[in-house]
Structure 1
Amino acid sequence: MANSRFEYVKQFEREHHLLPDTYIVIRVDGKGFHKFSEEYKFDKPNDLRALQVMNRAAQAVMSQFSDVLMAYGDSDEYSFLLRKQCSLYERREMKLITMFASSISTNYYYYWNEEFPEKPLKQSRLPNFDARAVTYPNFSLIRDYFSWRQVDCHINNLYNTTFWTLVSKGGMTPKEAENKLIGTVASDKNEILFSQFGINYNNEPEIFKKGTILMREMTQEESEVNESELSSRQKQRIEKKRKKAEIKTYHEDLITNENFWTSRPWLSL
C-alpha cells in the first residue's frame, strides 16, 4: 500500500510513546474472572492449580521479554516491571499493553490445558485479559507500587478465607457470610477464623497470603553496569545475559523486608 493514493488514512493514526528514562509497570488483569472461576468450579477461597496456571503464564511472558526484571501476581492479576532504559517496541504504549495482554492470554490457554486436562476450555467462557501501562519516575514509587499490590493481596485473601470458611464450615449462605463481615477489620476476621474454626491465618500457605514474585536474578557484577555508557556491542552482551538469567519464584514480604530490595540493585538501574 506504500505510495498509493489511499495512504493518507495513516494520518489518523496516533501513537503514544511512554516517557523515556522512567520505570514502566504493565499490569495485566483478568476480565470477568469471577464468572470464569464459577464456570470451571475453582476451589474456594484459593485454587492452587489456577494460581499455577497464572504463574506459569507470567513466567513465560518474562522469558519472552528480557526487559522485564520482576513480576508480582495474585489471583488473576500480574504486574510486570520493565527496566528504566527499556526500549521495547520503542516504548509505544498501545503496542506494549496489547502484546502483554495477548501473551498472557495465549500462555494461559496453553498452561490451563496442562494443569486442568479434565476441564477443557469452552468457547462460551474463555479467559480474557486486559492491560495498562504506568510510568514511575523513581524507584521509591516502584517499591510502594508493589507493596500496594501485596497489601491488596493480603486484604482480599483474609476476607475470602473468612468468607468461604463461614460458608463451607459455618453453614452460612453467601449472603449471610457477607452480612456478618460488614464493618469487620483484620483482627475481627482473624478472631472469627481462630475462635470459631480453629484456623490460625498465619499458618495459611504463603502463596495465598503474599502472592507470587518472579525475579530475573542477575549477578552483582551485572547489576553495577550503567548501560548508558556502553557501546552497542556491549549492550548486546548485557542483553544476552539478561535473557539467560534465571527467573526464580518467591512468596516473600515486599513491604518490610528491606533486604529483598537492597540485595537486588539491578532493579533500580
Structure 2
Amino acid sequence: MANSQYEYVKQFEQPDRLLPNTWIVIRIDGRGFTKFASKYGFEKPNDRRALELMNAAARAVMSELPDITIAYGVSDEYSFVFHKSCSLFDRRSSKLVSTIVSTFTAYYVHFWPSHFPNTPLSPPLPSFDGRAVCYPTVQNLQDYMSWRQVDCHINNLYNTTFWALIQQGGMDATEAEKKLKGTLAADKNEILFSQFGINYNNEPEMYKKGSVVFRDYEPVDPGTHNATAEVDNMARPVQQSKTQAENDKKKRAKAPIVVEHISIINRDFWDRRPWLLSNKPGKIPKEP
C-alpha cells in the first residue's frame, strides 16, 4: 500500500490481543430483546421456537468456525469457547467478537422464516453484542459454564412461577413480583405444585438446563485419561505438523454437531468427552 499524508491515522489503532494459552469465551447477548420478544409475541415463560432458532444459529457458527470446541446457550445469550491451545485464528478481541456476532446474527436472520414462518421480520431487526473473556485453567472454564447453567435454572424457575401466577393465577406483574420476593427455590416449587399442579421436575430439559452444542465423538471411559491435568500442565500450545493439523480438521468436519440439554456441572459430562478439553478429535460415531 502506498504511503500518503493520511496514513498517520493508523497510530490511533490500539492493540487488543487476548492472552495466549488461555481459554477464550465469546459471549453474545441479544440487544433489546425484551422489546423484540414482545414485538413478535414470544410465548412466556419460554418460547420453544425462539430457543431452537438460537440453537440453529449456534450450530451454524460452530460449523463455520472449527476452532470453537463447545458452546452453551440460554434465553437470548450464547457462549462460544475457543480451546487454549488453538493457534490457527486471530487472537485479537475485536476480530473474534465481531466474527462471532456477525456470523451468529446472519444465521439468526437466515433461519428466522423456518421457525417463525408466519411472522416476517421488520425493522428494527434482531442484533447481538458480545464480549471476550480469557480463562487460564480448565477449572475456571468449567466454573464459568457451570455459572451460566445455574443461572439458567434460577431464572427459569423464577420465570415459570412468575408467569404461572399471572397466566393462571390472575395476578398482575406487580402482584407476582411481590408474591415471589424473598422466596427460595423450595417455595417456588411449592407454589407451582400446590396452586397450579405443575411439577417443575417435569418441565422440558431445554428450559431447565439450557443448550450445549459440541462436536460429538464416541464417549470414553472416564478412568482411561486425565484430560484436565494434561491441558493445565501445558506451558505452551502443542505445535502440530501440517499433516496432523489437516487430519484433525477433516475429523472435525466429519463429526456431527449436536445440541444437548444436559448437565455440564457434573464432571461426568467432561470426563466422557475428553476431546472438549484436549482439542484432539475422538472416534467418529458409527452410523445408526
Q: Shared fold by TM > 0.5?
A: yes
Q: Does 1:150 align with 2:149?
A: yes
Contact 1:218 1:242 survives alignment (8 Å): no
2: CA distance between counterparts of 1:19 and 1:129? 24
Q: Partner of 1:258 in structure 2? A: 267
Point out the more displaced range, 258-267 or 93-102: 258-267
For 1:78 and 1:16, locate their aligned partners in 2 and report how far apart those are by CA, in whole Å: 22
Query: Could you tell me which amino acid in structure 2 is paired with residue 248 of structure 1?
Result: V
**Distance (whole Å) between structure 2 residues aligned to residue 142 and residue 154 of structure 1:** 19
Partner of 1:81: 81
Mapped to 2, the partners of 1:189 and 1:181 lie a distance apart of 8
1:242 to 248, 252, 258: 252
Q: TM-score, normalised on structure 1?
A: 0.93
Deviation at 1:242, TM superposition (A): 1.9
What code does the residue aligned with 1:144 have? D
Q: SS of the residue aligned with 2:69?
A: strand
| SS class of match (1:190) | helix
1:17-42 Cα offsets, whole Å, 9 max, x none, are 11111111111111111111001010
The whole-number CA distance in structure 2 between the counterparts of 1:98 and 1:229 is 27
Would the alpha carbon gap of residues 89 and 2 (structure 1) be closer, same or farther in structure 2, given more than 3 Å must change?
farther
Is the CA contact (8 Å cut-off) linking 2:205 and 2:261 kept in structure 1?
Answer: yes
User: CA offset at residue 243 of structure 1?
Assistant: 2.7
For the aligned residue pairs, the C-alpha RMSD in angstroms reads 1.8
Tell me the percent identity: 57
Displacement, 1:75? Answer: 0.6
Letter of the aligned partner of 1:12 in structure 2? F
Q: Which runs of 4+ in 1 moved over 4 A?
A: 223-227
- Does 2:241 align with 1:231? yes
| Residue equivalent to 2:167 | 168
Q: Which residue does the alignment assign to 1:200? A: 199
Q: In the TM superposition, what is the alpha-carbon distance from 1:147 to its structure 2 partner?
A: 0.5
Amino acid of the structure 1 residue aligned with 2:271: T
- Partners of 1:98 and 1:216 lie apart in 2 by 23
Q: Distance in 1 between matches of 2:19 and 2:85?
A: 11
> Which deviations, in whole Å up to 9, do the C-alpha atoms of 1:88-139 show, x marking residues without a partner?
542010000011111111111111121112111111x321100111111110
Please give the alpha-carbon distance, in whole angstroms, between the structure 2 residues aligned to 1:26 and 1:45: 26
The secondary structure found in structure 2 opposite 1:91 is coil
- Report the counterpart of residue 46 of structure 2 in structure 1: 46
Normalising to structure 2: TM-score of the pair?
A: 0.87
Q: Which range is displaced more, 99-108 or 85-94?
A: 85-94
Q: Please name the residue that 2:210 is paired with.
A: 211
> Which 10-residue stretch deviates more, 232-241 or 194-203?
232-241
Distance change >3 Å, CA 153–CA 186, structure 1 → 2: same
Where structure 1 has 5 or more consecutive residues not aligned to the other structure, the ranges are none
Matched-pair contact (CA < 8 Å) for 2:55–2:259: no
Whether the 8 Å contact between 1:16 and 1:94 is mirrored in structure 2 is yes
Give the Cα separation in 2 of the matches to 1:155 and 1:88.
Answer: 37
Aligned residues: 265
Q: CA deviation at 1:174?
A: 1.3
Map residues 66-105 of structure 1 onto 2, 5 A cutoff.
66-105=66-105
Question: Could you report, residue by residue, the CA deviation over 1:43-97 in whole angstroms, capped at 9, with x for unpaired residues?
Answer: 1110000101100001100001001111110110001111112235420100000
Code of the residue aligned with 1:153 in structure 2: it is C
Partner of 2:11: 11
Distance 2:88 2:15 in 1: 14
C-alpha distance in 2, partners of 1:268/1:89? 18
Unaligned stretches of 5+ residues in structure 2: 221-226, 279-288
